[in-house]
Amino acid sequence: MNYKVIDKETYYRKGVFRHFSEDCKCSASMTARLDVTDLVRYSRETGTKFYINFLYLLSKVLNSREDYRMGYLWQTDELVCYDVINPTQYVFHEDTETFTLVYTKYDADHEKFHAAALADLEAAKNTREYGLDAANHPNWFDASFIPWLSYDSLHLELPDGYLHFAPIVNWGKYREENGRLLMPVTVRLNHAVADGFLIANVFRLLEQEIESFIRRQPGGQPHA
């Protein structure tokens, strides 16, 4: 785990950061529907997991810009930017209706990431422990799939005054609308390090990465 310390006096969001980390501590979230028709088709045709393919693209997007890799070291009151952030997945146990956290390292190589994420998920199925280990995983972001509902909105509350800068992303079940498969995705970021533009930008980048990913595959032209 490597990071650089951000100089708060020269930070390009200096005024906004001070206001939303001292005067008005809060986060912001947005929910939008992404067209995942071509990614679902690709996953079916290749025998890969749609969930992991989306998780890979989400991780790629969140690692593409420093604003999404920010962290806060409360011990030293330092604002930092990690070199890389990794996804925290979840396994749902049907028998106990509980979850186990799954720490998976991001790899820019899709095949390596897919294999590792799948192996991590399978290993987690053998335990019923929650598995939270935040102290040893400071540069992990929360990625949670809600497969039971194609929801319209979702809001996650964090304690007042808790400077949690890692992204929190949820997504639900996709559903067909006018011949396309649309999936609700919710992105939450701390307002001290992100505004509406940066949150909306995650959706824009996801759309671009999905299209680019499909085009790079053999015969992977997106369908009209």
Give the model confidence (pLDDT) of 92-147 as tens digits.
999 999 999 999 999 999 999 999 999 999 999 999 999 999 999 999 999 999 99
Cβ-proximal residues to 220 (8 Å cutoff; 6+ apart), any chain: 42, 213, 214
Q: 162 falls in which pLDDT band (50, 70, 90)?
A: confident
Mean pLDDT for 26-45 is 96
Say if residues 30 and 203 touch (Cβ distance below 8 Å): yes
Distance separating alpha carbons of residues 127 and 33, to the nearest angstrom: 33
CATH, domain range 3-216: 3.30.559.10
Tens of pLDDT, residues 42-90: 999 999 999 999 999 999 999 999 999 999 999 999 999 999 999 999 9
Domain regions of the chain by residue span: 3-216
- Hey, what are 154's tokens? 């979702």
- Within 8 A by CB and 6+ apart from 136, the residues are none
Picking from 58, 45, 47, the residue whose alpha carbon sits closest to that of residue 145 is 58
Which tokens sit at 118? Answer: 């799948």
Whether the predicted pLDDT of 188 surpasses 80:
yes
Measured at the CA of 201, the angle between CA 99 and CA 135, to 5 degrees, comes to 40
Per the listing, tokens 């810009």 go with 65
Task: Of 224, 199, 200, 204, give the one whose Cα is nearest residue 214.
Answer: 224
Residue with tokens 């992977």: 220
Q: How far apart are CA 122 and CA 51, in angstroms?
A: 14
Round to whole Å and give the CA distance between 99 and 83. 28
Average pLDDT, the chain: 94
Write out the two tokens for 191.
């307002």
Instruction: Check whether 217 has a pLDDT greater than 90.
Output: no
Q: Please determine, for residue 182, whether its predicted confidence score (pLDDT) is greater than 90.
A: yes
Task: For residue 141, count CB atoms less than 10 angstroms from its CB and return exposed for 0-12, middle for 13-18, buried for 19 or more.
Answer: buried
pLDDT of residue 216: 85
